[in-house]
Amino acid sequence: MAYSVLVTGGARSGKSRIAEARCLEFGAPAVYIATAQAHDDEMRARIAEHQARRGPEWRTISAPVELAAALAESDGAPRLVDCLTLWLSNLMLAGHDWRAAGEELIAVLATQVSPVVLVSNEVGMGIVPENALARAFRDAAGLINQWVAQDAQEVIFAVSGLPLKVK
Amino acid sequence: MAYSVLVTGGARSGKSRIAEARCLEFGAPAVYIATAQAHDDEMRARIAEHQARRGPEWRTISAPVELAAALAESDGAPRLVDCLTLWLSNLMLAGHDWRAAGEELIAVLATQVSPVVLVSNEVGMGIVPENALARAFRDAAGLINQWVAQDAQEVIFAVSGLPLKVK
Amino acid sequence: MAYSVLVTGGARSGKSRIAEARCLEFGAPAVYIATAQAHDDEMRARIAEHQARRGPEWRTISAPVELAAALAESDGAPRLVDCLTLWLSNLMLAGHDWRAAGEELIAVLATQVSPVVLVSNEVGMGIVPENALARAFRDAAGLINQWVAQDAQEVIFAVSGLPLKVK
């Protein structure tokens, strides 16, 4: 039976660390499904920092867009998806239908045998952005979080590096 | 005795859905007090989407500015105010004294016989806006939330569509 | 044995009021360690408002940058640091090494005999800022919050003026 965990929170709230620890509780080795694309130095530095923290218990898969396929192919070990927000950003920048991709993700999650921990970002608690694209993005990010949270067995809100149990 | 519920959260956090369900628990038909003004297509689309989700259990009143009066006139059935943040925005754009309007709201809420569920937005958890008006708005929004929460019997923080009980 | 409390939350979430009440529970008179600098009228008005709310139970120290020293020198009474986010901003604007200052803060907190309550801001739950400096600031603010929260005995997340216990 499918088991998924959503870990959400703001920037630098300790989401990834909480999610990594939770994922390894399900067993090791685990699979790290990275959605980040190294477009620039800032992002490359952040990816390198995340990789350095993870040890040999992890096998890394890159899935900037084809997340549902990566999940389907990697079933059999606990998976960590880090993160949904970058995946959504990649989808929208590439002109994909993010609603269809989100529905496909939910459908694939429901069929997984091994647990999946998904990291996501809270981006909707600031002032309404003046930029229409930024508004569309934060609306989509909020909806994706709701869809994943609805089916998840656990939902954790990270505050200052600490887990606050929501579900 | 007055009974009010505040449902707060970020954009697309499922606030309205949680608030609608809580309101109907108090009884039906209920009154939906809409503070949105359909200035542009984006807002019209959002209002239409919200209306389509609500069924025949709801009677809708529009109160973009005169919220206290709308509450006083509609007492006798459960009310849902959606949302305080748009109401505050309408007040400030029209040059009204939002502090006086906020105090009037609190005073009217204290006299209501039927329950009132109020939806509000978290807008103060991003980077400090460079725009002075945006800073004034987020300060006012935070204070209105505090005033309503102080007198409320229940306060719910919506995270990824799920309710987190604060009070 | 050192005892510290972190109170975090968005703008106008009632953080300072919650932190002041918690600090006075440890005893009075208490020491208010202010990190704000009165650069402009808006900030002067906010500082004056905060001071007017505090009564004679407080002695005020100004420490816009030298926070660790101010803590070391004021040990012997409960202290309230308001707030870490402005302190970090002062550090970064003055070109200081904020990581070293953060580590120094954590080390000094561990040696305090009297309790310390620290106020901080959530700034990472909005859309990713376009400005690189703003991104660096919100990353640093998030890390400082994590460091302080990890060693704290209590962590409180303020929502609409109400405390949500995280630790």
Q: What is the ipTM of this complex?
A: 0.93
Check residue C56 and give its pLDDT: 83
Query: CB burial class (10 A; 0-12, 13-18, 19+) of residue B156?
Result: buried
Instruction: Judge whether A4 is annotated as a binding position.
Output: no
CA distances from C26 to C31, C62, C86 (A): 11, 21, 24
In B, which residues are within 8 Å of C127 by CB distance? Answer: 126
The set of catalytic residues of C is 50
Check residue C52 and give its pLDDT: 79
Closest by CA to A63, choosing from A52, A51, A55, A72, is: A72
Distance CA(C89)–CA(A38), nearest Å, equals 28
Q: Do B160 and A6 touch (CB under 8 A)?
A: yes
- Given its phi and psi angles, is residue B74 left (phi above 0), alpha (psi -120 to 50 degrees) or beta? alpha
Check residue A110 and give its pLDDT: 98
Domain containing A50 — which CATH number? Answer: 3.40.50.300
Check residue B43 and give its pLDDT: 73
* Token reading at C77: 């009474």
* Token reading at B110: 């204290």
| Continuous segment of H or E residues that includes residue C60 | strand C58-62
Closest by CA to C155, choosing from C27, C5, C22, is: C5
Check residue A53 and give its pLDDT: 77
Nearest residue of B to residue C130, measured between CA atoms: B127
Domain that holds residue C147: 4-165
Q: What percent of chain B has pLDDT over 70?
A: 100
pLDDT digits (tens, 9 = 90+) for B143-156: 999 999 999 999 99
Instruction: Name the residue with tokens 């943040």.
Output: B85
**What is the residue-level pLDDT of chain A in tens, covering all 167 positions?**
799 999 999 999 999 999 999 999 999 999 999 999 877 787 778 777 777 777 889 999 999 999 999 999 999 999 999 999 999 999 999 999 999 999 999 999 999 999 999 999 999 999 999 999 999 999 999 999 999 999 999 999 999 999 999 99
Q: What percent of chain C has pLDDT over 70?
A: 100
Check residue B121 and give its pLDDT: 97
Instruction: Judge whether C151 is annotated as a binding position.
Output: no
Asked whether the predicted pLDDT for residue C24 surpasses 80, the reply is yes
Mean pLDDT of chain C: 94
Check residue A132 and give its pLDDT: 93
Asked whether the predicted pLDDT for residue B92 surpasses 90, the reply is yes
* Token reading at C107: 């080390």
Check residue B41 and give its pLDDT: 81
pLDDT digits (tens, 9 = 90+) for C102-153: 999 999 999 999 999 999 999 999 999 999 999 999 999 999 999 999 999 9
Tell me the pLDDT band of B52, cut-offs 50, 70 and 90. confident
Check residue B54 and give its pLDDT: 79
Check residue B31 and give its pLDDT: 96
More confident residue, B50 or A76: A76
In B, which residues are within 8 Å of A149 by CB distance? Answer: 159-162
Check residue C42 and give its pLDDT: 77
More confident residue, B127 or C41: B127
Check residue B68 and give its pLDDT: 98
Distance CA(A117)–CA(C57), nearest Å, equals 48
Asked whether the predicted pLDDT for residue C53 surpasses 80, the reply is no
Check residue B42 and give its pLDDT: 77
Asked whether the predicted pLDDT for residue C48 surpasses 90, the reply is no
Q: Do A142 and B42 touch (CB under 8 A)?
A: no
Check residue C107 and give its pLDDT: 98
Q: Do C126 and B122 touch (CB under 8 A)?
A: no
Instruction: Judge whether B16 is annotated as a binding position.
Output: yes
pLDDT digits (tens, 9 = 90+) for C4-23: 999 999 999 999 999 999 99
Q: Do B141 and C12 touch (CB under 8 A)?
A: yes
Of A13, A134, A162, the CB nearest to C127: A134
Interface contact A124, partner B, CB < 8 A? yes
Q: Which member of B2, B17, B50, B58 is catalytic?
A: B50
φ/ψ of C17, rounded to 5, equals -65, -45
- Number of compact structural domains in chain B: 1
